[in-house]
A and B are shown apart, each in its own frame.
Chain A
Amino acid sequence: MSRLTELALVAALMFGATGSHAAGRYEGIGRAATPAEVKAWDIDVRPDFKGLPAGSGSVDHGMEVWEAKCASCHGTFGESNEVFTPIVGGTTKEDIETGRVGAYIRGDAPQRTTLMKVATVSTLWDYIHRAMPWNAPKSLSVDDTYAVLAYILNLGEIVPADFVLSDRNIADVQKRMPNRNGMTTRHGLWDVKGKPDVKNVACMKDCRTDITIGSSLPDYARDAHGDLSAQNRTVGPVRGQHTGNATAAAAIKPHPALELMKKNGCSGCHGIDSKVLGPGFREVAKRYKDDKGAESSLSARIRKGSSGNWGDVAMPAQSQVSDADLGALVKWILSGSPEN
Chain B
Amino acid sequence: MSQLPVRPGRIRRAPEGFLTPEQVGDVAAGRRDFLRQAFAAASVTALGVSAAHAADGDPAILNLPEHSTSLGRPVAERPYGLPSQYEAGLKRRESPGLTRVAAASVSFAPLQGLFGIITPSGLHFERHHQGWHDIDPARHRLMINGLVKEARVYTMDDLMRLPSVSRIHFIECGANTGMEWGNVAVPTVQYTHGMLSCSEFTGVPLSVLLDDCGIDMKRAKFVLAEGADGSSMTRTIPLDRALDDVIVAWGQNGEMLRPENGYPLRLVVPGIQGVSWVKWLRRIEVGDQPWATKDEAVHYIDLLPDGTHRQYTSIQECKSVITTPSGGQTLLDRGFHNISGLAWSGRGKIRRVDVSTDGGRNWRTARLETPVLSKALTRFNIDWVWDGSPAILQSRAMDDTGYVQPTYRQLREVRGTRSIYHNNAIQSWKLAESGDVSNVQAY
- Tell me whether A211 and B217 are in contact (CB under 8 A): no
Given contacts A185-B312, A204-B364, 9 further A-B pairs with CB under 8 A are A30-B152, A38-B145, A81-B100, A119-B311, A131-B294, A189-B422, A198-B410, A201-B404, A202-B363
Which B residues touch A182, using CB under 8 A?
A: 307-309
Residues of A near B436 (CB, < 8 A) are: 241
Most chain A C-beta atoms within 10 Å of own C-beta, residue among B212, B297, B361, B364: B297
- Assess the A46–B292 pair: CB atoms within 8 A: yes
**A235 to chain B: closest residue by CB:** B9
Which residues from A are CB-within-8-Å of B350?
Answer: none
The smallest beta-carbon distance between A40 and chain B, in angstroms, is: 9
Identify the A interface with B (CB < 8 A): 2-4, 7-8, 11, 21-26, 28-33, 37-38, 41-44, 46-48, 50, 81-84, 100-101, 104-105, 107, 112, 114, 117-120, 122-124, 126-127, 130-131, 134, 137-138, 179, 182-185, 187-192, 194, 196-209, 211-218, 221-222, 224-226, 228-243, 267-268, 276
How many contacts A-B (CB < 8 Å)? 368
Find chain B residues with CB under 8 A from A44 CB.
224, 226, 234, 285, 291, 293
**A112–B347 Cα gap in the complex (Å)?**
31
Chain A residue with Cβ nearest B155:
A30
Q: Within 8 Å CB of A2, what residues of B?
A: 243
Residue contact B96 to A224, C-beta cutoff 8 Å: yes
State the Cβ distance, A312 to closest chain B Cβ, in Å. Answer: 17
Residue contact A4 to B442, C-beta cutoff 8 Å: no
Which residues of B (173-219) have their CB < 8 Å from a CB of A?
183-188, 190-191, 205, 207-208, 210-215, 217
Q: Is the interface of A mostly helix, strand, loop or mixed?
A: loop
Chain B interface (Cβ < 8 Å from any Cβ of A)? 9, 13, 18-21, 24, 86-87, 89-90, 93, 95-97, 100-104, 110, 112-113, 129-131, 143, 145, 148-154, 158, 161-162, 183-188, 190-191, 205, 207-208, 210-215, 217, 224, 226, 230-232, 234, 238, 240-241, 243-244, 271, 282-283, 285, 287, 289-294, 297-298, 301, 303, 306-315, 317, 324-325, 327-332, 337-338, 346-347, 352, 354, 358-364, 392, 396, 398, 403-408, 410-411, 413-415, 422, 428, 430, 436-443
Tell me whether B207 and A7 are in contact (CB under 8 A): yes
Q: Known contacts A206-B362, A212-B443, A237-B337; is A33 also within 8 Å of B313 by CB?
A: no
Q: Is the CB of A104 within 8 A of B307?
A: yes
Contact between A120 and B292, CB atoms less than 8 A apart: yes
Whether B150 contacts A24 by the Cβ 8 Å rule is yes
